[in-house]
Structure 1
Amino acid sequence: MSKAKKPKYKLLHQYYKYTGFYSFIWEGIRKAIIPTAIIVAVLFYVNYQVINLNEGLMYITKNFSDFFIFTVFLASETILGLIPPDIFIAWTKNTDTPLLYLTILAFLSYLGGVIAYFMGMGIAAIPSVNKYLYGKMTKHIINMQKWGGFLIAVGALLPLPFAIACLAAGMINFSRKHFFLFALLRFGRFIIYGFIIYSALS
């Protein structure tokens, strides 16, 4: 008598367990907890003990155009997330329409990931550049080949390098349709962090 076939979710769980996906997520969360806690703690301390952050952010709002700030943010989110998005989220708190600006940031972050994805596809078409970057990003590319959309989802939601995950997805020609869907989880990260940072600055 043949053995009963395992349900698909059990097979997936087994696969992710054996390939180290869960330990990868835990390691990413563990590394992210301290920096995130430090950022929130610094916001609280500076806001109440040094200078009113709302006034400082208001200064930025008055002296730099929205277009300039959004452009810097998009460039950062496309090129490996050079500036923590939390700083920009804090900035939206002092705009006339915080939720609208937060939504725009989330969209630009998503767009930055999409641009990084197509950059990865372009890089894959240039053998010399692809070989160089493949060597630099071997770990990320191998992880993308193993876990695909779940790695994109983790990068979208957690304080992990989202742009790198998107670039790697493009380099291995990951399904465009599935990439666009998994990357939408990026909006969830901005909702969660927006609530935390707005609470810290209130």
Structure 2
Amino acid sequence: MKVRKKSRSQLLHQYYKYTGFYSFIWQGVKSAILPTAVIVGILFYVNYKVINLNEGLQQLTQNLNDFAIFGVFLASETILGIIPPDIFIAWTKSTSSPLLYLAILAILSYIGGVLAYFIGMTIAAIPAVNNFLYGKMARHIINMQKWGGFLIAVGALLPLPFAMACLAAGMIKFSRKHFFLFALLRFFRFIIYGFLIYSALS
């Protein structure tokens, strides 16, 4: 009896199932739903019941240079995503050109991920620093070795540490071409979250 060979997609599905990739995504989605709903809910409530957030954000940032805000955002997106990008997305709604500013944020976020990737590659060439961070980021690095580009895609789309995934990709010297392609999914996150947050602030 001839045994039918499994297709590449079937083998990949089997691999991701056995290595826990699907459960990892599901946990990420579950952990993302509640915070996203809470953030949007708070924005709705505050905007309609407490203070007009568009005016509040304008007053808060009127003494700050736009370039300074973009600089802080780029630094955050490069260094492990210290500040949630949702705060900056909400800020763009109060600017004179919201969609343009949102597009700039998306581009800077992508650039931040690329910088984190190259920082990871640089770290990999310094044994002492590499060993230290490898111990601190063991889980992320192991997951990157198992799932590669799909982990970058998940980090790009979900409220998971995108910069951390990019740093880990650089540390294991993940394919540069594939990294650039998977990281492009970051733009979709800004489209989706921009729509949700703009709706809450309308």
Query: When the two structures are superposed, what TM-score results if normalisation uses the length of structure 2?
Result: 0.98
* Conserved? CA contact 1:153–1:183, under 8 Å: yes
- Rounded Cα–Cα distance in structure 2 between residues aligned with 1:19 and 1:2: 28
Deviations 1:59-110 (A, max 9, x none): 1342211101000000111111111101100111111111111000000000
Instruction: Report deviation, 1:198.
Output: 0.3
* Conserved? CA contact 1:61–1:94, under 8 Å: no
Structure 2 equivalent of residue 114 of structure 1: 114
- Residue identity matched to 1:105: L
Structure 2 equivalent of residue 170 of structure 1: 170
* Conserved? CA contact 1:141–1:168, under 8 Å: yes
Structure 2 equivalent of residue 194 of structure 1: 194
Instruction: Report deviation, 1:167.
Output: 0.3
1:153 matches 2:177: no
Deviations 1:29-85 (A, max 9, x none): 111222111111111111112211011111134221110100000011111111110
* Conserved? CA contact 1:77–1:112, under 8 Å: yes
- Rounded Cα–Cα distance in structure 2 between residues aligned with 1:62 and 1:132: 41
Query: When the two structures are superposed, what TM-score results if normalisation uses the length of structure 1?
Result: 0.98
Structure 2 equivalent of residue 183 of structure 1: 183
* Conserved? CA contact 1:112–1:163, under 8 Å: yes
**Greater CA drift, 127-136 or 52-61:** 52-61
SS in 2 for 1:5: coil
Structure 2 equivalent of residue 141 of structure 1: 141
Query: Which consecutive segments of 4 or more residues in structure 1 shift more than 2 A?
Result: none
- Residue identity matched to 1:100: L
Count of residue correspondences:
202
Structure 2 equivalent of residue 67 of structure 1: 67
SS in 1 for 2:2: coil
SS in 2 for 1:159: coil
CA RMSD of aligned residues (A): 0.9
**Greater CA drift, 146-155 or 28-37:** 28-37
Structure 2 equivalent of residue 32 of structure 1: 32
- Rounded Cα–Cα distance in structure 1 between residues aligned with 2:109 and 2:128: 29
Structure 2 equivalent of residue 98 of structure 1: 98
Show structure 1 runs of 5+ residues with no match: none
- Rounded Cα–Cα distance in structure 2 between residues aligned with 1:23 and 1:198: 31
SS in 1 for 2:35: helix
